[in-house]
């Protein structure tokens, strides 16, 4: 019998990757069950039944939405929603309230519902829960110390999910970007653009300014989705996991690699985060180390796969 998986935020960068991953894992083969099946063929049995919900299906901060989830009775709930307007949350009190409602309160309530219906619950967090002062990267057990309101909201979400109990996975990630198949043109205008998309749009500029004094672990959404599926498939213990691609780089080094893979060479101008005029305190060095499972492949390898899918704009 198939397991019902509910993906919240299914139209986002990660949500789309999760839909694809759980659909790709949707069948297993077993020996022929009847003479009608020819030699070598296999009958297929569904592993997962995917429910893909997004904003039009309900507001995750609303109490009546929780009743809708209970009625759907999923065995796995994956919360790929999140507030990530980092600058706005820092400077606007109304936006800060929304940030905490989405990133902190809603995950806690979802975790409680998951426990009530005996479902596994997955929630995503961020490298922003760290202050970036530690050299050599952060493990899952390092003490958080967020610098921004966004980081504080995500840490509160982690704490609320853990407090709810039940079967849960808190997966921290960093600098998320998704698949970029097809033409690099208007199709990139969906939601908040990733750094990869922004750099691709700048390939024909004579020069591009990029920050050099912030390091993190770029993460390819399909790899994070596969990491999530593996935790569930392996019935891994509840807890915090780091699901970012292995290694780290500065924004400048990331841009260099993007342009190298594209075969383009605008002049890169190194600038500091202060020169970039950021209103948000970001961790200067927030590499995420995975010490609990097999590491996710290196960030540069994942980026190469992503960029290989890109076709030049007509």
Task: For each of the domains in the chain, give its residue range(s) and CATH number, in order of start.
Answer: 3-311 (3.40.50.720)
Give which of 221, 261, 229 is closest to 245, Cα–Cα: 221
Q: What is the pLDDT of residue 274?
A: 80
**Beta partners for residue 168, in sequence order:** 121
The catalytic residue among 150, 169, 177, 241 is: 150
Mean pLDDT by 10 residues, the chain (314 residues): 89 91 66 42 64 90 92 95 88 92 95 96 97 94 95 97 95 89 37 84 90 94 94 94 96 94 89 78 92 94 88 48
Give which of 240, 217, 218 is closest to 293, Cα–Cα: 240
Q: Say what the pTM is.
A: 0.88
* Coil vs helix vs strand at 160: helix
Helices 93-100, 149-164: axis angle to 10 degrees equals 20
Looking only at the bridges linking them, the beta strands covering 76-79 and 3-8 are parallel
Q: What is the pLDDT of residue 277?
A: 66
Q: How far is CA 276 from CA 35, 65, 271, in A?
A: 69, 40, 7
Looking only at the bridges linking them, the beta strands covering 43-46 and 27-30 are antiparallel
Q: What is the pLDDT of residue 125?
A: 97
Please provide the distance, in angstroms rounded to a whole number, between the alpha carbons at the two ends of the chain.
47
Annotated active-site residue 150? The verdict is yes
Q: What is the pLDDT of residue 191?
A: 57
Q: How far is CA 175 from CA 40, 117, 161, in A?
A: 44, 33, 22
Q: What is the pLDDT of residue 223?
A: 95
Query: Residue 132 contacts by C-beta under 8 Å, 6 or more apart in sequence?
Result: 147, 214, 282, 283, 284, 285, 286
Q: What is the pLDDT of residue 273?
A: 84
């Amino acid at each position: 019998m198939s397991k019902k998986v509910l993906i919240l935020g299914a139209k986002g960068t990660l949500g789309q990757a999760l839909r694809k991953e759980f659909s790709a894992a949707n069948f297993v083969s077993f020996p022929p069950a009847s003479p009608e099946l020819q030699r070598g063929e296999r009958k297929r049995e569904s592993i997962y039944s995917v429910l893909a919900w997004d904003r039009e299906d309900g507001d995750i901060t609303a109490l009546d939405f929780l009743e809708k989830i209970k009625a759907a009775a999923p065995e796995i709930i994956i919360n790929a929603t999140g507030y990530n307007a980092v600058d706005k949350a820092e400077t606007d009190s109304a936006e800060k309230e929304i940030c905490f409602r989405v990133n902190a309160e809603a995950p806690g309530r979802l975790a409680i519902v998951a426990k009530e219906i005996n479902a596994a619950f997955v929630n995503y967090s961020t490298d922003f829960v760290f202050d970036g002062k530690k050299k050599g990267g952060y493990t899952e057990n390092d003490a958080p110390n967020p610098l921004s309101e966004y980081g504080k909201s995500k840490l509160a979400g982690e704490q609320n999910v853990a407090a709810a109990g039940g079967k849960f996975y808190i997966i921290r990630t960093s600098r998320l970007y998704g698949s970029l198949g097809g033409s690099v043109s208007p199709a990139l205008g969906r939601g908040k653009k990733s750094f990869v998309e922004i750099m691709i749009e700048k390939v024909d500029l004579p020069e591009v300014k990029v920050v050099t004094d912030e390091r993190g672990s770029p993460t390819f959404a399909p790899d994070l989705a596969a990491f999530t599926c593996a935790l569930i498939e392996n019935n891994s213990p509840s807890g915090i996991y780091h699901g970012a691609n292995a290694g780290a780089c500065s924004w400048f080094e990331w841009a260099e690699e993007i342009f190298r893979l594209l075969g383009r060479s605008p002049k890169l101008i190194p600038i500091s985060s202060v020169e970039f005029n950021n209103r948000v305190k970001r961790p200067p060095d927030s590499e995420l180390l995975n010490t609990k499972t097999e590491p996710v492949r290196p960030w540069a390898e994942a980026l190469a796969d992503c960029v290989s899918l890109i076709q030049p704009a007509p």
